[in-house]
Structure 1
Amino acid sequence: MTQSKPYAQIRVCAVLLAAGEGSRMGNIPKCLIQLDGQTLLQRQLIALTEAGVDAVMVVSGHHHLAVERELETLKVLYPMRVIRNTHADKGQATSVRVGIETLGSDFDAVIMALSDQPFIDSQDIKALIATFKKRTAGEIILPMFNGQRGNPIILSGSVMKTILASGAEMVCRNFMDQHPELVYQWQTQNDHYVVDLDTPEDLKTLSTKMGLIFSLPNSNSV
């Protein structure tokens, strides 16, 4: 008798948000900050691709010229679609909505990923997907580290269909707040899920603490 696989194969996609203004970082695109010679945007694409994600939708917005120029060079390495949020000035929620509307709902699960998390790697994405597959409750996996909400999150296709059908104002965070019974808080000891870059002080702290060297994008190219 053939041994069955421990978990079913599922079709997973990702929405990667790269539309931010970076106001607290001095109005630069945080996704174009470099670590070890790679932009944070590229590092996220590597993580998602190596984890076996089936499709990636990248949402640009603020700094779209510089971000999309970077994406053009990365398209040959990492399969993706790119959509521009022309209303990015109205906040991140609009980028989430543009991403999920463009992506559609023909997936078993959707990962909502940020492009300013320097340490997320393919193992972190695989662990998130595995937790989703193994879950015994909930339709959304929310990483939690020492009581702090993390990212990325992963949502079931059925939840995504509901969000898409609930009007333009409904996005993932709103839905999670309104339906806590569908959220599985995954307790993890991996701080990768809660480390992001918002301010120059964040860069300085990580550089000092871990000996990392971050490079800001050239102001002439932004």
Structure 2
Amino acid sequence: MGYHSRSGDGAGNARNISTLIVWLCAGKSTRVRDDRRHKLLSEFDGVTLVRKSARAACCSAASRVFAVTGHRRSDIAAALGGLDIALAFNPHFPSGIASSIIADWTAAYAVGFDGCLIMLADMPGISTLDLDRLIAVFKDAGGRAIVQAAGQGRRGNPVILPRSLRSAILAMQGDIGARHIIERSGIPVIEVDIGEGAHVDVDTSEAIVAAGGVLKG
């Protein structure tokens, strides 16, 4: 696996480039057709999905991990017990993913970073190695490019956004992710092929089972 770059060479200060992970786990899991269940509390090999994803983030080369909670915040926090993650609650989570990205970004911005890796908590195929490859490419680009996971010839998730996109992030609204920001930013984009994991999310009961999980919680 390699990556395709459309950026210039900005690797001179790679060692000084910091990347934080902002990790989204606030959603209501509405596509799982059981109000008693939460997709992030489903289990993969005996470990809740939310903890599995969190472990991948915590073991990565990121300087720090910030997670935003919302729906069933106490259950999610309990599942993350003992992990080195800074938790932030988003009271506006019913309005859509944009409010969660803003909440996480704001918390991360306060401590300073060059790049913010936006990670969805419902992607069981994302590994620490995948995250480290994205982070390494961002550092090699001098922190001046968008770095996006791809697979099967299509862009996917996660994605690293440079600090310079702060204004565009804070202007986001509704249930819309960062795709339109990436398309309109004018910043070079580097695609990193991590395989099918870039597109595997588990929004439904059927998807959880197909990915090898057991719906619980």
* TM bin (shorter chain): 0.7 to 0.9
Q: 1:153 to 1:169 in 2, by over 3 A?
A: same
The aligned counterpart of 2:126 is: 120
Letter in 2 for 1:129: I
Whether 1:65 aligns to 2:74 is yes
Letter in 1 for 2:43: Q
- The equivalences for 1:57-206 within 5 A come to 57-71=66-80, 73=81, 76=82, 78-104=83-109, 106-135=112-141, 139-160=145-166, 162-163=167-168, 167=171, 169=173, 172-179=178-185, 181-188=186-193, 190-206=195-211
The aligned counterpart of 1:47 is: 56
Structure 2 residues without counterparts, runs of 5 or longer: 1-11
Q: Can you list the C-alpha shifts for 1:49-86, whole angstroms capped at 9, x where unaligned?
A: 21121111111111223212223x2xx2x211111111
Shift of the alpha carbon at 1:174?
Answer: 3.9
Contact 2:62-2:135 within 8 A present in 1 as well? no
For the aligned residues, what is the CA RMSD? 2.5
Task: Provide TM-score, normalisation by structure 2.
Answer: 0.81
Structure 1 residues without counterparts, runs of 5 or longer: 207-211
Task: Provide TM-score, normalisation by structure 1.
Answer: 0.79
Contact 1:12-1:109 within 8 A present in 2 as well? yes
Shift of the alpha carbon at 1:155?
Answer: 1.2
The count of residues paired between Structure 1 and Structure 2 equals 201
Letter in 2 for 1:50: C
* Larger of the two Rg values belongs to structure: 1
Structure 1 runs of 4+ off > 3 angstroms? 135-138, 166-174
Contact 2:60-2:129 within 8 A present in 1 as well? yes
Q: 1:43 to 1:138 in 2, by over 3 A?
A: same
Contact 2:66-2:85 within 8 A present in 1 as well? yes
- Greater RCO, 1 or 2 (C-alpha within 8 Å, sep 6+): 2
Q: Distance in 2 between matches of 1:57 and 1:6?
A: 24
